[in-house]
Amino acid sequence: MGNSKKIDLLQGTLDLLILQTLRWGPQHGYGIAQAIRSGSDEVLQVETGSLYPALHRMEKQGWIRSEWGTSEYNQRAKFYQLSAAGRKQLSSEQDRWTRMSAAIEGLLNAGKSEA
Amino acid sequence: MSIPDIFRRRKREQDLDDELRSHLAMAIRDRVERGEPPREAEYAARKELGNFVLIGEATREAWGWQWLEDALRDARHAWRTMGRSPGVTLAAVSSLALGIGANTAIFSLLYTVMLRSLPVARPEELVELLQKYPGEPRGNGYWSQRSLEHYREHNHVFSALTGTAIDNAVRLEVEGEEAQTAVGEYVVEDYFPVLGLRPGLGRLLGPGDQPDSAVAVISWALWNSRFRRDAGVVGKTLTAAGRRMTIVGVAPKAYTGLRVNTQTDLWMPVRPKAGLALLARLKPGVTIEQARAEMALLFRFTIEERAEGSKDSQIRHLRVELEPAAAGFSGVRDRAGSVLVLLMWTVAVLLALACINVAGLLLARGAARTREMALRMGLGASRWRLLRQMLTESLVLSLMGTTAGAAVAYGGTALLLRIMDSGREHEQLHLEVRPDGTLLLFCAGVALCSALLCGLAPAAATLRAAPASPLRQSGRATGTLRRWFGHGLVSAQVALSIVLLSAGVLFLSHVWSLKTAHLGFRRDHVLLAAVDSSRSGLSGERLAALYRGMLERLETTPGVRSAALGGPTPLQGAGASGLAVVEGFAERAEDRRWTQIAYVSPRYFATLDIPLLAGRDFAFGDVGMNPRPAIVSRAFARHYFGNRDAVGKRVMLENVTLTRTPATYEIIGVVGDANYYEIREPQSRIVYLPAFRSTGVVAGAFLVRTAAAPQDLMGEVRRMVKESSYALEVRRMITLSDQIDASIVLERMMGTLAGFFAALGALLAGIGVFGLLAYGVSRRMGEIGIRMALGATRGVIVRMVMRESLAVVAAGIALGVPLVIWGRRIAGSLLKDMSVNAGELLAWGVAAIVAVAAVAAYAPARRAASVDPMQSLRHE
């Protein structure tokens, strides 16, 4: 490790990333963590200590469902998949993110032009 | 948490564990596949995954169960901790149990007597109408039916006005059952509609029921007991007070009449001309003051009405009173209310003391656990987590206290009810205490407050002391703050127990003075047997002859010193009275006072040991005397004749209870004063009239002075009565001293309880002082060892320990003094005639607490004095 480019996730974005990852199909916790890491070119780092509480919380909220299955390594693992509510949640989180990043970008650009 | 929930949770925990393990396995496998050596791969993967336990905890929190899990774990932990010091736990739980139990028991009585609303429509509108002579403590509620009608027509403040005549001794006969004495109400036709009651069965009495018609409504309780819930009870008959009546309905279950202290068994239509207790309903928006003002004007009608047929000069001084009647008629509130309020104060102090005691015990335990707390904080436990755990401990403690307290309350209430119901017949407090929501809330509130009170202070003190410092020092380290706090607690205990001790002294001495007061007669070795001749068919001279024969037989019975007939008997409570007119003695109308009258046989004064001061006793030969003879008390003779001889003078008695015409008597003797009617009031003027007269006999109680214990003769007297005539019934048999005790039931109850609480308070304070000193000594073992090694004598060491307790006790006394003075003032405002003043109380309380503290300090002081210097230093 020791990769200085790694960024801890912003609060509230973990949900979005998990939902986004699960869009492509059921995945277990380790798979989700790996997908986020590799999908962000190793920039985004998901702590296991945040991942599992988030998964269990989202399951309780009804956004995702879980069931035990067999992993690609032929190992028992718990797979999560999106529910209908989760799909809805995903699109609203995406909207929110788009608006927020646009706003932040706008702020940063304004700062640049003044400098 | 239900059982299935627990299983489900187990499974979930297992699931989570599996999930994390599979995560780890996959991570290791990935690394190995990328070419890392297996051991390093595992190490790196584990490091990446982080703390298994922490992840588990964080995830479980997401389930939303964490608080419950923690609470349960805290409770289990608390349970184990308490199990480790059973003595402390037992002391804490039992003091809490007594505190909470006593409070709940007294409050449930207080609530029933003073606060519980009648189960009727809009009880807050109800008011009771009373008439009162100035200076009289309480009014009476006897109104004529004409007054009722007058007020109904002329008032503008009441939406309704109704009345009832309550008879406590209705002879009730139901077919196939033994006759019983029942409480009956003769009610005005709109009584039930005004109260807004609905029948439990059949119908209630209403405007259709003419006065005096032969119908009755029975109570739910009577329907249950006598009629065994017979659904066809309506239409059956019963005989009440000798009249056959048809049952038309059953009253609702909750309604037991307008008085708290008796439960009405049946309601019947009002009898013509009977006196009534009046109950009114205020119009919406009308205050009780407005109603008082209007009634003060309308009341003239009653005065005129009463003055018309009466020579009672006092009548024009009568005033009308309105009392709120939401909780029923006020008689019992007047009588028992102040006693219950005083007891409530006392037990509140007791509860405060119990809480402080528990706080002290928890504090001491907290001191022993300072290192544990510091260690746990060092390992990363949050303050909040530790605070929560300590609060859980005190919550568990108070929960146990409450549970035990509920048992105490249950037993205590039953006991108090039995005591209160043992009074004189006309004063009995037969209460129905029902557990209800308010009571449970009260109990739970007390428990919760005690938990917070007991838990917060020690917890805060422990946590404040907890930062790393205790770890560095050795086990004896404690903050000065905590020491002061501990001292403060014990001082507070001392102060509160002084209050309880002086309350105990106050009430016990009050009872003692009532029990030992010279009443003017001797109360020991006298047996009373009240005989009922009403169904013997005997009356007049035949009954008189029978009674004379019985007296003769009694006098010759072995073990009997003398026997007499009388009525009313001393301190029976009820009786006759009249107004005396003495020739040549001018008295202003408003100065005239009622003279009490008792009907007695010859040898009555000898039997009661009332001294004959002048003249002679009655004799059986007096029957034909004209004018009839009378014997007066010394107070009577003094009032009317001053220093002159009363014997031979004449007195006219008018307005005598149950008689119409005045009669003149010749005074033949003067006897000593006696508290004949009321033990709490000064000895009043009494006229004794002959029980045997030409027309028959007017008393029905035999008094027997015995040589041995009066109880031993009960069987003998009963047999004698039965043998004399089978038609006579012994209605009541009691010793005179028991009858006197029955007249001071409430005082005795208060005295006994206050004494018990005082002893308890002293014990708790003693435990507090002991605990503090024992702790102090164990903390200072090393110091004491050094002192002794340097040559201090045992005496010096003992004095050193005693000095510490002395300071604490002195502070407690200083705190207690104003409390006692303040408490004495409250007691004085609620109960009159208390003989002991605040100064004496303080002297007693302080003396007692110093004695208790000395005893409590003895063991620790001895332990300190027997310290072996070598050993204690090695121990360091």
B613 within a domain of the structure (yes/no) = yes
What mean pLDDT is predicted for residues B774-780? 75
CA distance B249 to B203: 5
Q: Identify which of B71-85, B524-538, B649-663 has the greatest average pLDDT.
A: B524-538
Residue B786 is assigned to a structural domain of this protein = yes
Q: Which of A101-105, B160-164, B257-261, B678-682 has the highest mean pLDDT?
A: B160-164
B16 and A73 in contact by Cβ < 8 A? no
Q: What is the pLDDT of residues B367-424, one digit of tens each?
A: 667 777 777 777 766 777 777 777 788 788 878 888 888 888 888 888 888 887 777 7
pLDDT at B617: 94
H helical segments located in B634-744: 634-641, 714-724, 736-742
Query: In the structure encoding, which two tokens stand for residue B79, read together?
Result: 């349970």
Region B428-436: mean pLDDT is 68
| Average pLDDT rounded to a whole number, residues B751-767 | 86
In chain A, the residue whose alpha carbon lies closest to the alpha carbon of B64 is A57
Q: Which residues, including other chains, have CB under 8 Å from residue A24's CB and lie 6 or more apart?
A: none
List alpha helices for A1-115, DSSP H. Answer: 13-22, 29-39, 48-61, 84-114
Q: Domain of A63?
A: 7-114
CB contact under 8 A, A53 and B61: yes
- pLDDT interval class at B426 (50, 70, 90): low
Mean pLDDT highest for which of A47-51, B366-370, B447-451?
A47-51
Please check whether residue A88 lies inside any domain of the structure: yes
Q: Residue B782: is its pLDDT beyond 70?
A: yes
- Smallest Cα distance from B76 to chain A, Å: 26
At residue A115, does pLDDT exceed 60? no
> Does any CB of chain B come closer than 8 Å to the CB of residue A48?
yes
- pLDDT-derived band at B192 (thresholds 50, 70, 90) equals very high
For residue B252, the model assigns a pLDDT of: 94
Q: The CATH number of the domain where A31 resides is what?
A: 1.10.10.10
Interface residue A13 vs chain B (CB under 8 A) = no
Rounded to an integer, the average pLDDT of B150-165 is 92
- Token duo for residue B426: 């006309």
Interface probe, candidates A48, A60, A76, chain B, greatest B C-beta count within 10 A = A48
Q: Does A52 touch chain B (CB under 8 A)?
A: yes
Which of B65-69, B268-272, B580-584, B786-790 is the most confident on average? B268-272
Dig out the tokens for B303 from the structure.
């005065």
Question: Which chain B residues are within 8 Å of A47, Cβ to Cβ?
Answer: 50
Instruction: Give me Rg for the CA atoms of chain A.
Output: 16
Q: What is the mean pLDDT of chain A?
A: 82
Residue B601 pLDDT greater than 90, yes or no: yes
- Using a CB–CB cut-off of 8 Å, the residues of B that contact A are 15-16, 18-20, 22-23, 25-27, 29-30, 48-51, 54-55, 58-59, 61-64
B22–A56: do the CB atoms touch at under 8 Å? no
Judged against a pLDDT cut of 80, whether residue A88 lies above it is answered with: yes
d(CA B804, CA B484): 12
Provide the residue range defining the domain that includes B19. Answer: 3-64
Residue B588's pLDDT is what? 65
A2 assigned to some structural domain: no
- Which positions ≥6 away from B466 have C-beta within 8 Å? B370, B373, B374, B377, B386
Number of domains observed in the structure of chain B = 5
**Cβ separation B59–A52 shorter than 8 A:** yes
Kindly state whether residue B237 falls inside one of the protein's structural domains.
Answer: yes
Contacts of A77 in chain B (CB under 8 A): 19, 22-23, 26
Question: B705, B727, B749: which is the final residue of a domain?
Answer: B727
> Is B734 inside any structural domain?
no
- Pull the structure tokens for residue B557: 């019975």
Taking an 8 Å cut-off on Cβ atoms, the answer to whether A73 and B49 are in contact is no
- The Cα B720–Cα B531 span in angstroms is 12
Q: B494 with B441, same domain?
A: no
Q: Quick one: B71 and B127 in the same domain?
A: no
Asked, for residue B746, whether it belongs to a domain, the answer is yes
Predicted pLDDT of residue A9 = 64
More confident residue, B37 or B306: B37
| Count of domains forming chain A | 1
Is B186 found in the same domain as B96? no
**How many CB atoms sit inside 10 A of residue B231's CB?**
8
User: In this predicted structure, what is the pLDDT of residue B707?
Assistant: 92
Residue B476 confidence (pLDDT): 44
On whether both B280 and B418 belong to a single domain, the answer is: no
Q: Which amino acid is at B49?
A: L
The string over B284-320, giving b where at least 16 C-beta atoms fall within 10 Å of a residue's C-beta and e elsewhere, is eebeeeebeebbeebbebbbebbeeeeebebbeebeb
Q: Examine the pLDDT at B159 and tell me if it is beyond 80.
A: yes
Within a domain: B352: no
The rounded percent of chain B whose pLDDT value lies above 70 is 88
Across the interface, which of A49, A56, A76 has its CB nearest the CB of B63?
Answer: A56
What's the gap in Å between the CA of A60 and the closest CA on chain B? 7
Structure confidence at residue B534 as a pLDDT band (50, 70, 90): confident
Determine if residue B512 is left, alpha or beta; phi over 0 gives left, psi from -120 to 50 gives alpha, anything else beta. Answer: alpha
- Does the residue A101 lie in any domain? yes
Residue B770 · residue B859 · CB < 8 Å: yes
A1 inside domain = no
Asked if residue B464 and residue B600 are part of one domain, the reply reads: no
pTM for the whole structure = 0.70
* In a domain? residue B306: yes
For chains A and B, count residue pairs whose Cβ atoms are closer than 8 Å. 63
Does residue A3 register a pLDDT over 50? no
Q: What is the pLDDT of residue B282?
A: 94
Q: What's chain B's average pLDDT?
A: 82
- Residue A44 belongs to some domain of the structure: yes
Tell the burial category of B176 from Cβ atoms under 10 Å away from its Cβ (0-12, 13-18, 19+).
exposed
Dump pLDDT digits (tens) for B89-148. 787 788 888 888 888 888 888 888 888 888 899 999 999 998 887 766 566 777 888 889
Q: Does residue A84 belong to any structural domain of this protein?
A: yes
- Range with lowest mean pLDDT among A110-114, B42-46, B569-573, B718-722: A110-114
pLDDT score at B205: 92
The C-alpha atoms of residue B861 and residue B839 are separated, in whole angstroms, by 32
Query: What is the rounded CA–CA span in Å between residue A89 and residue B395?
Result: 43
Rounded Cα distance between A60 and B304, Å, is: 83
Distance from CA of B823 to the nearest CA of A (A): 59
Specify whether B361 is located in the same domain as B253.
no
Nearest to B204 by CA among B212, B432, B194: B194
Torsion of CA B199, B202, B203, B209, to 10 degrees: -150
CA B354/CA B342 separation, integer angstroms: 19
CA distance B59 to chain A (A): 4
Element (H, E) at B158: strand B158-173
The better pLDDT of the pair B758, A72 is held by: B758
- Asked whether the CA dihedral B353, B354, B358, B364 is positive or negative, the reply is positive
Question: Given A30, A47, A56, which is nearest B23 (Cβ)?
Answer: A30
Residues of B within 8 A of A28 (CB-CB) are 22-23, 26
Do B265 and B179 lie in a common domain? yes
Give the model's pLDDT for residue B690.
93
pLDDT class of B437 with cuts at 50, 70, 90: low
Nearest by CB to B59, from A28, A47, A56: name it.
A56
Q: Do A30 and B26 touch (CB under 8 A)?
A: yes
- For B361-370, the pLDDT digits (tens) are 777 777 667 7
**Rounded mean pLDDT, B332-336:** 75
pLDDT of residue B312: 60
Q: What is the reported pLDDT for A113?
A: 56
In a shared domain, residues B500 and B538: no
Helix axes B838-865, B794-830, angle to 10 degrees: 160
Say if the Cβ atoms of A77 and B63 lie within 8 Å: no
Tallying the residues shown for chain B, one arrives at 876
Which of A2-16, B27-41, B461-475, B650-664 reaches the highest mean pLDDT?
B27-41
Contact A30 B29 (CB under 8 A): no
Which residue among B30, B48, B63 sits closest to A60, beta carbon to beta carbon?
B63
Same domain, B455 and B488: no
CB B812 within 8 A of CB B850: no
Q: Find chain A residues with C-beta within 8 A of B30's C-beta.
A: 34
Q: What is the mean pLDDT of residues A31-42?
A: 86
Contact across the interface for B19 and A78, Cβ inside 8 Å: yes
Instruction: Tell me the nearest-neighbour CA distance from B77 into chain A, angstroms.
Output: 27
Query: What pLDDT, on a 0 to 100 scale, did the predictor assign at position B464?
Result: 66
pLDDT digits (tens, 9 = 90+) for B472-514: 544 444 556 667 777 888 888 889 988 898 888 888 888 888 8
DSSP state of B116: P
The pLDDT value given to residue B766: 84
- The answer to whether A30 contacts chain B (CB < 8 Å) is yes
The answer to whether B498 touches B849, Cβ cutoff 8 Å, is yes
In a domain, B86, yes or no: yes
Highest mean pLDDT among B246-250, B416-420, B450-454, B802-806: B246-250
Instruction: Give the pLDDT band of residue B463 (cuts 50, 70, 90).
Output: low
Alpha-carbon gap, residue B448 to B394, rounded angstroms: 10
Give the model's confidence band at A46: pLDDT under 50 very low, under 70 low, under 90 confident, else very high. confident
Residue B80 has pLDDT above 80, yes or no: yes
- What is the pLDDT, as a whole number, of residue B408? 85
| Contact check, Cβ <8 Å, A48/B55 | yes
Q: Kindly state whether residue A82 falls inside one of the protein's structural domains.
A: yes
Set of chain B residues whose Cβ sits within 8 Å of the Cβ of A36: none
Interstrand relation of B663-671 and B628-633 (parallel, antiparallel or unpaired): parallel
Across residues B327-335, what is the average pLDDT? 78
Indicate whether B406 and B301 sit together in one domain. no
In this complex, do B22 and A71 lie within 8 Å of one another by their Cβ atoms?
A: yes
Percentage of chain B modeled with pLDDT above 90: 21
Q: Is the dihedral of CA B12, B17, B20, B26 positive or negative?
A: negative
The helix or strand, by DSSP H or E, that contains position B600, with its residue range, turns out to be strand B595-600
Both B764 and B874 in a single domain? yes
Q: Is A4's pLDDT higher than 60?
A: no
Residue B699: Cβ within 10 Å count = 24
Is the same domain home to B868 and B746? yes
